[in-house]
Structure 1
Amino acid sequence: MVNGDSVQARMDQQTLDAGPGGAELHLDPRRDSGISAISYRSNSTLTESVQSDNPVFRFVEENGRTYHSYKEGRYPLPNDAREQGRSTVEHHLWRLTLRDKLYLAPINRLNHVLDIGTGTGLWAFELAVRFPNARVIGTDLSPIQPQYIPTNCQFEIDDAEDEWLYRQKFDLIHSRANVFSFQSPETVITSAYSALASNGWLEFKDFVFPFRCDDNSWNGTALQTWNRLLEDCIVRSGRRLYVEEYAQMFHNVGLVNVTERLFIWPISPWPQGPRNEHLRELGRWTRKNLLEGLESLSLMLLTKFGGMSKEEVLQLVQNAKADFWDTKNHVYVQM
């Protein structure tokens, strides 16, 4: 029962030329502190200027949560403090899964790195700290990244499905937890291919939805009901569940040395036996992640596309949460 999806691929020697324009690093002059104030480019269509009076800061409020306003409705999860806290837990989960590695691609020298859908920016921030000579850019629809960042790190408001205008080529292009982000993941992967340096690597890490249960132990549970309803609403919203297609998409654009690594996150510490202590630890953190994440995943999709009221969604979520405490439910998330 080892399943999941973490895909990486190497750019071959011959790469496509980058388009016009580009992204440059704008650093705070306080280099001796190793920290810069967050800075956003505003002199091209690549990035919206981010100022206190900019509309991207006026988040959309719905069902008691806030959502991004730039390209409103594109991403169905909230961006408020609760969701940012949950993202921090999920970041820890990825580090546990990869044994403290930030990426799996076999590359040690990094000059330029791009993190697509960076969210709170934790991955980009930590990579910039670990590789102080690399220039790291994180992009997202929401300006929710930290105010103070390493001098070699920059965040931009950008939609990865728009035209890429970077001048530089990237040694590593990274994407994590973007299963609900893209209308056309093929467009993103094609743009990434064009932006990779010779021998550069593309790495996508994501979770596969719906959840899985090999022995049907969750039959009749509220969690199973929630899982089925959310899957239905994802389809009704016009979104695709494309994570298991990543490897083929990589091949299709011409990437070579495509490797797929498979992991699981148990929804609780249900795996038994002395050899499964790591899985039990992942299960404890997955439960913590999903106890908060179920509401984030549910509110917009189930109210807009499932015909449910906010109160009905919250009741369903509450019932499903109870199933995370029963270790007889052998449910897991493919990664």
Structure 2
Amino acid sequence: MAEHASISPVATEQGQKAPTQGTHLVADESDADSAIGDDDDDSIRQYRVENGRTYHSYKDGQYAYPNDEAEANRLDLQHHLYNLTLDGKLFLAPIKKDSQNVLDVGTGTGLWAIEFADEHPSAVVIGTDLSPIQPTFLPANVTFLVDDAKEPWVFKERFDFIHTRQLHCAVEEKKLMKQALRNLKPGGWLEMQETSTPIACDDGTMTPDHAVHKWTHFMLEASKRIGQSLDNPPKYAEWMQGVGFVNVQHVVYKWPCNPWPKDKKHKTLGLWTLVNAQDGVEGFTMAMFTRVLGWQPEEVQSFLVDVRKDLKNKSIHSYVTVNIVLGQRPE
């Protein structure tokens, strides 16, 4: 839960600012117990149905999380969680107020793109995603496209700002960074907002015997098997520098897994993180465990009963690490 001002002042020669873990979380002991044709448009909306959830049909199987109404609602809730974390800000990059062209990669329900467009009426905002789950009634300066960020980018314009959030095994991050660099205007910014796995704990209250500990390591194992490891985000700053970005910064926040911290803001973040996790844990897990690890759906559901219990347990002081990494294309 680092505040933006708590970025370490120590910088490398390339200008990367070292990340900080921020304020140490203190437990609240008082409650410790407690762009396509019509035919293509029709086909991409014929979603894959699997274990009671729907998944994108365009580039079927590339992204392991659902795209149904339950997941859309969770994505909107997650957007609120990011807003709480950043004190109402949509991003940290020092972009120009009159930015003209903005790209939101993996836009999901499009809420970030819509809010950015409302706040920046001079900007033209494009949101891309594998699923057309965005609303129909939009600000005039927003367009949504069904697109695969892993394919070569063919945008006619270059962008002042490119934003990504929670792409979770959907992209090859280094390739995305290279494509972003090529598609930014000189001086433009890329900002990637991403949680990393495994879930962490600083005081030993989460042990290897806990289901939530096992779950987070199973998720990491599955992601590594498909070559898109969920522990990559802490490496983003180094990777951005490696492909040519300058003024790279890495800001670290923490989301408590439930309202266990004593601090009021952290407790609120914990409450929203718990709701987000309880609503999303089945969607996060089912395809990764069944497609990649070979579990049966019934095994997954049984296992998640104990995972949910651990997520609610205030005596387990676990948290999710949030990485916000930004870099600038050289002038």
How far apart are the structure 1 equivalents of 2:203 and 2:161?
Answer: 39
Name the CA distance, whole Å, in 2 between partners of 1:3 and 1:213: 19
Question: Structure 1 residue runs of 4+, over 6 Å off?
Answer: none
CA–CA separation in structure 2 for the residues paired with 1:97 and 1:49: 39
39, 42, 66: which one pairs with 1:78?
A: 66
1:152 corresponds to:
141
Q: Please give the alpha-carbon distance, in whole angstroms, between the structure 1 residues aligned to 2:236 and 2:48.
A: 31
Q: SS at 1:271's partner residue? A: coil
Displacement after TM superposition at 1:53 (Å): 5.5
The alignment of Structure 1 onto Structure 2 pairs a total of residues equal to 290
Q: Which amino acid aligns with 1:330?
A: H
Alignment partner of 1:253 is 2:227: no
Normalising by structure 2, we get a TM-score of 0.84
Once residues 145 and 255 of structure 1 are traced to their aligned partners in structure 2, the CA distance between those partners, rounded to angstroms, is 31
Q: Deviations over 1:152-210 (max 9, x none)?
A: 0000011112111112111110000013211x211111110011112111100000111
State the alpha-carbon separation in 1 of the partners of residues 313 and 223 from structure 2: 27
Conservation of the 8 A alpha-carbon contact between 2:105 and 2:129 = yes
TM superposition shift of 1:310: 0.8
User: What is the distance in 2 between the residues matched to 1:164 and 1:206?
Assistant: 22
Q: Tell me which moved more, 92-101 or 156-165.
A: 156-165
Map of 1:227 onto structure 2: 216
Asked if the contact 1:120–1:146 (Cα under 8 Å) also holds between the matched residues in 2, the reply is yes
Gaps of 5+ in 2: 8-34, 323-331
Which residue number in structure 2 is paired with residue 90 of structure 1?
78
1:264 to 242, 245, 254: 254
Does the 8 Å contact 1:237/1:301 carry over to 2?
no
Alignment correspondent of 1:168:
157
Shift of 1:125: 0.8
Aligned-pair distance for 1:63? 0.5
Partners of 1:3 and 1:264 within 8 A in 2: no
> TM-score, length-normalised on structure 1?
0.83
Q: Distance in 2 between matches of 1:236 and 1:139?
A: 26
Whether 1:329 aligns to 2:316 is yes
225-234 vs 129-138, greater mean Cα deviation: 225-234
SS of the residue corresponding to residue 154 of structure 1 reads strand
Instruction: Output one character per residue of 1:12-31: Cα deviation in whole Å (capped at 9) or x when no partner.
Output: xxxxxxxxxxxxxxxxxxxx
- C-alpha RMSD of matched pairs (Å): 1.8
**2:298 is equivalent to residue 311 of structure 1:** yes
Structure 1 residues 317 and 188, CA gap change in structure 2 (3 angstroms): same
Taking the aligned partners of 2:58 and 2:160, their CA distance within structure 1 comes to 28
- Note closer, same or farther for the CA distance 1:170–1:53 as it changes in structure 2 (3 Å cut): closer
Structure 1: gaps spanning 5 or more residues: 7-40, 42-47
Residue 308 of structure 1, CA deviation? 1.5
Distance 1:51 1:133, change over 3 A: farther
